[in-house]
Structure 1
Amino acid sequence: MTTNTALEEKFREVGGKRPYVQRLFGRIAGVYDLMNKLMSLGLDGYWRKRAARYLALATGQTGLDLGAGTADLSIAVINGSGPGTKMIGMDITPEMLDEGRRKLVRMGLQDRIELRVGDAEHIELPDNSVDGCCSAFTVRNLTNIKQGFSEMLRVVRPGGRVVCLEISHPPGKIFGTLFYLYFYKLAPLFGTVIGKAFEEYNYLPNSLTTFPKAPALKEIMEEAGWSDVRYYYLNGGIVAIHVGTKAE
């Protein structure tokens, strides 16, 4: 049985990919932030700051963070934006949002970032209701990636941006080999030793196996209706930031 077939079987056992992902992240919510820092060798904060910079919300604007988790990307956007900027963070996993709310209270940001349960493929917001949309390590967990980007396009106002930060496929052969060794072999080990969560941290690398490479993801975003789509590799292509604009 291949890894992908095994994953598909796990999805079927619980009624689909969405409930599987929801339960998985619910179980690791308490160690999620720590594991992010360990597995990215401390780079995850830098990646989010870069993504937040591309979103570039102006004073008084409102952004949407999909798959917001513990709110780190929302926080990065607020920290890099002018006064009066607000964020709505949505996630399908209540346990992750609970961790995020506690963090926001500690930072005094609870009045600027609102966290709510929500699905990136069926966004409960009106058309043209937010000034920009972002996500970090969320898109590869969607059941239908094009549907997700279509929904993002619907809720963003004309002229607004979408910014997608995702783990990618490093293009270089040597670096790519090292990356896969680390991501597929060592990362699940980290999860087992520190998070006592082998299945969860085995899923995370394997979710990349069928995830489109950066050029293909760009095409999906364009098919969904986004204009001027570009992507930027960071740290040799470990991650990529995809940016698109909604036509005026």
Structure 2
Amino acid sequence: MTDQDISVENVNDNNDKTHFGFKQVAKDQKANMVAEVFHSVAAKYDVMNDLMSLGIHRIWKRYTIDCSGVRAGQKVLDLAGGTGDLAAKFSRIVGEKGQVTLADINHSMLMVGKEKLTNMGILGNLNYVQANAEALPFPDNHFDLVTIAFGLRNVTEKSNALASIFRVLKPGGRLLVLEFSKPTNEMLSKVYDAYSFHLLPKMGELVANDAESYKYLAESIRMHPDQETLEDMMKEVGFEQTSYKNLTGGIVALHRGFKF
């Protein structure tokens, strides 16, 4: 893939402050800082996902696909799709007459995803777009389904991203947000904190030679809105029949919303 193969969206230029993990940074700096994190971890991203979750992330993603309701011939946007786990499955489901767009703001992640999916033999109905979730470069009412898995928490203005997703969905289309969330059990929450802030950076250092990026990832999870807050944010931009399902005790939640 060359730079000419990918359309690129500009990042937010608002000079107000936002969080980058537990730090406060200028909003116009955050997207580039997040990009550096994922550029650093892209090559080891899939390996680390399996290690960090003990493989459970595959079950979370399988559940997301099962809840998608996607059918042959439909158009799917896998936003912040990274290395393409969801896009690969959707490509098979929608078939030759359907289309799957794998979009990510990070060029390195997109390149890893394209190489992996090409090696899997997935070619005809899958295209790749480098794009900012806050300003999606797609027509109105275009997709039957949009998914964003473990990506929304890294977006600077989450409400802008949700509104942009709402715009590109067809009437009757649905959004699925799979994201780390807030554990529902206090004991589980304590164990999860100990794992996230002590073991996770050490694993990142040993496997990806990058403890700081995984420290940021742990912090970004804690700064992400809880289940009820995210559901309210979806409603505010127009989604209806919103709901969420806690997975693994609320460590992860799958949010659903429809455009009518």
Give the shorter-chain TM-score range: over 0.9
Q: What SS does structure 2 have at the residue aligned with 1:165?
A: strand
2:234 equivalent among 198, 202, 221:
221
Question: 1:8 — aligned with what?
Answer: 23
Name segments (4+ residues, structure 1) moved above 6 Å. Answer: none
SS at 1:208 equivalent: helix
Quick one: distance in 1 between partners of 2:132 and 2:120? Answer: 26
Which digits, 9 at most, give the CA deviation of each residue in 1:166-203, with x for residues without a partner?
01110111111111111222111110111111111000
For structure 2, which runs of at least 5 residues remain unmatched after alignment?
Answer: 1-18
Distance in 2 (CA, whole Å) between partners of 1:160 and 1:15 is 31
Shift of 1:223: 0.6
How big is the shift at 1:7?
Answer: 4.5
The equivalent of 1:44 in structure 2 is 57
Q: Which amino acid aligns with 2:23?
A: E
2:131 counterpart residue number: 118
Find the residue that maps to 1:143 and give its secondary structure: coil
Q: Name the residue aligned to 1:186.
A: 199
Paired position in structure 2 for 1:200: 213
CA-atom RMSD, angstroms? 1.7
State whether residues 55 and 133 of structure 1, in contact with CA within 8 Å, keep that contact through their aligned partners in structure 2.
no
CA contact (8 A) 2:83 2:112 kept: yes
1:63 equivalenced with 2:91 (yes/no): no
Query: How big is the shift at 1:77?
Result: 2.5
How far apart are the structure 2 equivalents of 1:107 and 1:162? Answer: 26
2:151 corresponds to 1:138: yes
Other structure's SS at 1:16 match: helix
Distance 1:83 1:172 in 2: 44
Deviations 1:199-221 (A, max 9, x none): 11000010022211111110011
Indicate if the aligned counterparts of 1:53 and 1:80 stay in contact, CA closer than 8 A: no
Among candidates 111, 119, 124, match of residue 106 of structure 1? 119
Residues 101 and 46 (structure 1), Cα distance of their counterparts in 2 relative to 1, 3 Å cut: same
Number of residue equivalences: 242
SS at match of 1:55: coil
> What TM-score results when the alignment is normalised by the length of structure 1?
0.92
2:97 matched to which residue of 1?
84
Separation in 2 of the partners of 1:121 and 1:204? Answer: 20
Residue of structure 2 equivalent to 1:163: 176
Secondary structure of the corresponding residue to residue 159 of structure 1: strand
Q: Which amino acid aligns with 1:95?
A: S
Q: Deviations over 1:107-146 (max 9, x none)?
A: 1112222111111111000100111100110000010111
Deviation at 1:158, TM superposition (A): 0.3
- Say if 2:178 and 2:254, in contact at 8 Å, map to a contact too: yes
